[in-house]
Structure formats: structure tokens, C-alpha cells
Amino acid sequence: MASVKLSAKAVGSTVKLKVGGTYRDFIVVHQGLPGSMYDASCNGTWLLEEVGHERRNWHSSNVNDYANSDVHAYLNGDYLNQFDAGIRSIIMPVKVPYVKGDGKSGTICSGSDGLPCRIFLLSSGEVGHRSSDISSVIDVGNLLSYFIAGQDTTAMNKRRAKGDGSSGWVRWWNRSPLNNTSYECLLLGTL
């Protein structure tokens, strides 16, 4: 079978990557640079693991600071190291927009001042949640091609979290803190 370059994959298509010895599905959620708040390092193929394979705390001390969170350290350490070496070598370092400090500071760092990482949680803006929809959301990032802005059923279904098969609400952590609480997550969908 002929292989297809990742950069040629259509948004919404699925690719399989080996993580921890098992192939997992990843959705192509964007191709290219999402907007001017992104460093040029972000110009590439954006993937999102389709099924959450584990549950993790944001931070053991409930710290509302993504750059210093346990989940950010895990993604760029233990999780990154689970990818086969060949895949790990092509996961490029990027600088993504983020809120520096806690959600009450509201200081958004972007472009060359973005957060250096190789794997990251998507932001509220990237999945289509905006402060005009939910007042406590800090707008960080631009809408990625796969997602739809707003709160209607179609938009929410694009954000539907797939979990371990259990019924009920599933939370996706994202890197955008809320501005009125110590919690950093948004409830994005149900199974």
C-alpha cells in the first residue's frame, strides 16, 4: 500500500500511530498555521487522539497554571516517550498560545512568547468555545478547521469526548483556564 504524507491528509481523516505498543487513532484537526497568534513552529499537521486512554489530574495541588501543571509535564515526558521512536522524532517542538500564570491574570502569551512543548492540550478557542458563549472562558487560540464555533448540537458533537466506554459525562482538559474559578476544564460532551 502506498503511504500518504501526513501533510496531505484531509482534516477529519484518521491516522494510526503506535503509542505504548498499541496503534491508536488520531484525528487530523488542522493543517497549517491556525492564525497570527501562533509561532511559525505551529505550521503543520495538528492531530488529536480520538479516544482518551487514561484519566489524569490537571495538577496534584489544583494549580490553575497550565505551564506548570502536572498534565503538561506528563504530556511532554512520559506520554511523549510512549510513541515509537520514529514517530517521536517527527513530533516537532512548537510554541502555542497560552495564559501565563493562573486564569485570573488573563495574560495571554502568543507567537514567539508561546509555551514551548511538543504535545499539548487544545485550547478553548481551538475547539470553538469562546467567551461570547461561556463568560468564564478566556479566549486563547484560533478555531481549528475540524471544529465548529458555538454551542449548538453540531458544534458540540464535534467536541464529543470519547472515553473508555463508560456512560455519562466525559471531561476533556484543555489548556485554557477559566477566569472565575480555580478549575481549568470545560465539559465538552458526553459519550
Sequence-distant (≥ 6) Cβ neighbours of residue 154 within 8 angstroms: 148
pLDDT digits (tens, 9 = 90+) for 101-126: 877 766 889 999 999 999 999 988 89
What pLDDT shows up at residue 168? 47
Asked if the structure places residue 6 within a domain, the reply is: no
Q: What is the grid cell recorded at 124? A: 478553548
What pLDDT shows up at residue 14? 94
CA–CA gap between residue 114 and residue 123 (Å, rounded):
13
Q: What is the grid cell recorded at 112? A: 514567539
Asked if the structure places residue 156 within a domain, the reply is: yes
Full domain range(s) for residue 165? 11-190
pLDDT score of 48 more than 80: yes
Query: How far are the Cα atoms of 93, 143, 159, 181 from residue 43, in angstroms, in the given order?
Result: 11, 14, 22, 33
pLDDT score of 170 more than 70: no
Domain count, the chain: 1
Asked if the structure places residue 26 within a domain, the reply is: yes
Sequence-distant (≥ 6) Cβ neighbours of residue 118 within 8 angstroms: 76, 80, 91, 92, 93, 94
What pLDDT shows up at residue 154? 82
Asked if the structure places residue 1 within a domain, the reply is: no
Asked if the structure places residue 5 within a domain, the reply is: no
Mean pLDDT of the chain: 81
What pLDDT shows up at residue 37? 93
First CA to last CA distance, the chain: 34
For 3-12, 132-141, 180-189, which range has the lowest pLDDT when averaged over its residues?
180-189
Asked if the structure places residue 71 within a domain, the reply is: yes
pLDDT digits (tens, 9 = 90+) for 61-81: 766 788 988 889 999 999 999
pLDDT score of 182 more than 60: no
pLDDT score of 185 more than 50: no
